[in-house]
Amino acid sequence: MSDWGPVFISVVLFVLLTPGLLFQVPGRHRCVEFGNFHTSGASIMVHSLLYFALVCVFLIAVKVHLYLD
């Protein structure tokens, strides 16, 4: 049996936290912009820190596991 939990959590968070797809922190004209499909160096850094923090929470603290037979 293989544990697909880390793979699933990582892929979902990567898609959701892509800068400019759903939201962008910091935005160009506001603190948070939604669905603008633009990105900047600062937003890449913020989103990568959010991604790292959420992956740590879900994989280390919550210990999400998904076993597929």
Write out pLDDT tens, residues 10-60.
999 999 999 989 989 898 888 999 988 888 899 999 999 999 999 999 989
- Spatial contact of 2 and 14, defined as CB atoms under 8 Å apart: no
Q: Is the pLDDT of residue 1 over 80?
A: no
Domain presence at residue 69:
no
68 is a domain residue: no
- Domain holding 36, by residue range, is 4-62
Amino acid 2: pLDDT: 86
How confident is residue 68, by pLDDT bands cut at 50, 70 and 90? confident
Q: Residue 3 is encoded by which pair of tokens?
A: 């544990």
In a domain, 15, yes or no: yes
Query: Cβ contacts of residue 56 below 8 Å, gap of 6+?
Result: none
Query: Is residue 12 a part of any domain in this protein?
Result: yes
Please give the tally of structural domains in the chain: 1
E strand spans, 1-69: 2-3, 23-24, 33-34, 67-68
Mapped onto helix, strand or coil, the DSSP state of residue 43 is: helix
**What's the pLDDT score for residue 66?**
86
Asked if residue 67 belongs to a domain, the reply is no
Whole-structure pTM value: 0.83
